[in-house]
Amino acid sequence: MPIRVVGFDGDDTLWHSETRFHLTQAEFRDLLQRHAPDADVDARLADKEMQNLSIYGYGVKSFTLSMLETAIELTGGRIPAGDLNTILGWGKKMLTQPTELLDGVEETLRAIAAAHDVYLITKGDLFNQESKLASSGLGDLFLGVEIVSEKNGDTYRGIFKRRGIDPSEFVMVGNSLRSDIVPVVALGGRAVHIPYQVTWAHEEVAEDLLPKQGWRRIERIAELPGVLKDL
């Protein structure tokens, strides 16, 4: 079937995101090791994030709350209020940083929007994602925007029904195998994976569990128009 609709992920597909989490986590690790030098800060924070996903969801606010909880637990509640305030400051800084587009995004998106219906399908905190989109300069290119709490089969199925999209005419483009590739292909759509330089472990999928067909992997978004023609 010809491709009629192209969906784009936001974070780390259109604009930078995960590198900011990694830089903040490195600062957090350094701070906590002054109080708990033998602790595996990264592992404890990762566990706390997974525990909190069903409560706080995804995004900077969830990450900040998980850092605060981890800091309190690892120090037995002895961490100074000033250090907790520092952690809060990191979260605020992440939330107020300007949106930084990846190379080639605007030109590629404009070219694709001229020939296809284009949607932004991204997950995370509603206010933060709306702010990123508003400051990206890309808002006028999307026929519709879907900001969701999770990206799985049920989510995509609901979007297809709401938007009148036939999965066989749909391609999803994103950096997450778990969120952008596997569920879309399972529903009969197609997908293009564009790996980001840093990927959260939660979004990875073992190679042997990936679909055998129905998706492609490219190195940069500028390759996408040619791939869509092939698909």
CATH of the domain at 85: 1.10.150.240
Find the length of the chain: 231
Domain interval for residue 36: 18-96
CA 148 to CA 88: how far, in whole Å?
A: 25
pLDDT digits (tens, 9 = 90+) for 107-147: 999 999 999 999 999 998 999 999 999 999 999 999 999 99
pLDDT digits (tens, 9 = 90+) for 32-73: 999 999 999 999 999 999 999 989 989 999 999 999 999 999
Same domain assignment for residues 189 and 141: yes
| Residue in the structure block whose two tokens are 């509603």 | 126
Task: Report whether pLDDT(199) > 90.
Answer: no
Domain count, the chain: 2
The answer to whether the beta carbons of residues 225 and 111 sit under 8 Å apart is: yes
Same domain assignment for residues 137 and 90: no
Order of strands, sheet of 117-123, starting from the edge strand that comes earlier in the sequence: 144-148, 117-123, 5-8, 170-174, 190-193, 215-217
Same domain assignment for residues 59 and 110: no
Q: Which of 96, 112, 141 is the last residue of a domain?
A: 96
Task: Give the pLDDT score at 208.
Answer: 75
Same domain assignment for residues 91 and 106: no
The answer to whether the beta carbons of residues 146 and 126 sit under 8 Å apart is: no
Average pLDDT over residues 163-185: 95
The answer to whether the beta carbons of residues 117 and 169 sit under 8 Å apart is: no
Reported confidence tier of residue 218, pLDDT bands at 50, 70, 90? very high
Same domain assignment for residues 90 and 118: no
Task: Give the pLDDT score at 207.
Answer: 77
Same domain assignment for residues 92 and 175: no
Same domain assignment for residues 80 and 9: no
Q: Which of 62, 96, 130 is the last residue of a domain?
A: 96
Task: Give the pLDDT score at 200.
Answer: 65
The angle at the Cα of 214, spanning 209 to 216, to the nearest 5 degrees, equals 85
Average pLDDT in the chain = 94
Same domain assignment for residues 172 and 104: yes
Same domain assignment for residues 78 and 106: no
End-to-end CA separation in angstroms for the chain: 9
Q: Which of 35, 64, 96 is the last residue of a domain?
A: 96
